[in-house]
Amino acid sequence: MKKRKILMITPYIPRLSHSGGQRSSYYSIKYLAPKNDITLICFSRDEEGVKDVRQYCKKVIVVKRGKTWDLKKIFSTAFSPYPFLVVNYISDDFKKAIQDEIDTHDFDLIHCDCFYPMPNIPKTNIPVVLVDLTIEYAVYQHFVESLKGIKKLLAPILWLDVKKMKFWETYYWKNTHTVVAFGIEDQKIISEVTGRKDVQYFQNGVDQKYIDASVKTKKSKNPSILFGVSNMKWMQNRESVELVLQKYWPKIKSKVPDCQLYIIGRFAPDFFGKYASKDIIVTEADSDGDPKDPQYYYERSWLLLAPMGSGGGTRNKFLEGMTFGLPVITTPEGGMGSIKIKNFQDAIVCPDKEILKNVFKLLEDKEYRQKIGINAKKLIKSNYSFSKCVEGLNQIYENITKK
């Protein structure tokens, strides 16, 4: 079978040691590789993870990225039509690397993860596929709306940045050959905003090795609640952790004194280390296969609690937690709509005011907790393996290249 030739562009190195988009991109490449020759160009400050992803790519090019916060970028944002997020990913070296590959090789299509590297892609007759992992402007808009106290003084400046972001994200949705949303809700929003009827949908998934994994860790003897495994640099995750700590944890601890809370993920100690105690465990998860990898925390915990303040995409932590039989509780903004659950059977999606009631029911009722965990595991195993999900992306590729 002749393989398609794909130029893939990512604003990071896809890698297993990170959660969220980087992990999803890694698994996409892994399962796309059998039917596609992939040339990967990624924008990164380091080369961690290159060796892992290179085994699935024909070629990997890493373009060095500078610091996020420097005066040049801040001033550039002030006098640029682009928002700060996009300014951070505009690079002459990035543009040149992409242009050089287009000039010297024949590609069937260009795949770009996230909209913010898009300004680096030159005008070309090669079909461009934009896979938008989340609706960025909605995330930042929610952040600005949530500002309190003295931070609200920054709101007018930040609102301008949000408006710029919305303009450019919408622009690329409208003017890119094919747009692929990472969630059903996102697909509907993009279709409504752009008027496009051809917005595609890619279902996030779980790697087969997680689905096939044997149990390695016993459940904690103490009642235990997990937030994670997540990248805490992502503001949605930090907001959710703060909500758990400030609104729910004191009441949970009062009613269930021996309960423990696990705040697990990349940069978790940086943001939440001050809360660490014998009852609140704050740490990063090791890379897959090490003593305390994500599987350890999913198996050890009794339930996963992650009330989200804004939507977008599909949460890896939910998919992975459910794979290991972990009951998930989230709010309607949690992106669970992209996972076709039966509510209160496979997972729990409820309004903010009903979170505690459902947490206590799961902690107190072992049979109910185990039933939801078993249902969750069956659901993911049957429908959400990454190998199966990526076939949908392959079909999108096929529909583009056969024309």
Same domain, 247 and 305: yes
Q: What pLDDT, on the 0 to 100 scale, is given for residue 7?
A: 98
What integer best gives the mean pLDDT of the chain? 93
Supply 165's token pair: 């972001």
The pTM of this model reads 0.90
- CA dihedral angle for residue 180, residue 190, residue 23, residue 386, rounded to 10 degrees: -50
Residue in this structure with the two tokens 């700590």, named with its chain if needed:
245
CATH number of the domain encompassing residue 301: 3.40.50.2000
The candidate with the shortest Cα–Cα distance to 327, out of 313, 346, 354, 342, is 346
Provide mean pLDDT across the span 305-313.
Answer: 77
Supply 310's token pair: 């804004």
Q: Report the number of distinct structural domains present in the chain.
A: 2
Residue 115 CB-density burial (10 A; 0-12 exposed, 13-18 middle, 19+ buried): buried
Q: Which domain holds residue 165?
A: 4-205+386-401
Same domain, 120 and 250: no
| Digit-coded pLDDT (tens) for 313-359 | 557 899 999 999 999 999 998 877 678 999 999 999 999 999 999 99
The candidate with the shortest Cα–Cα distance to 323, out of 182, 219, 218, 209, is 209
Order across the sheet with 128-132: list the strands: 59-64, 36-44, 4-10, 109-113, 128-132, 178-181, 200-201
Same domain, 187 and 65: yes
| Digit-coded pLDDT (tens) for 92-115 | 999 999 999 999 999 999 999 999
Same domain, 247 and 316: yes
Residue in this structure with the two tokens 């959400």, named with its chain if needed:
384
Helices (H) and strands (E) in the chain, counts: 17, 13
Q: What pLDDT, on the 0 to 100 scale, is given for residue 182?
A: 87
Residue 129: partners with Cβ closer than 8 Å, 6 or more residues away? 109, 110, 111, 112, 176, 177, 178, 179, 180, 396, 397, 400
Same domain, 259 and 304: yes
Q: What pLDDT, on the 0 to 100 scale, is given for residue 338?
A: 78
Same domain, 230 and 347: yes
| Digit-coded pLDDT (tens) for 156-208 | 999 999 999 999 999 999 999 999 998 888 999 999 999 999 999 998 899 88
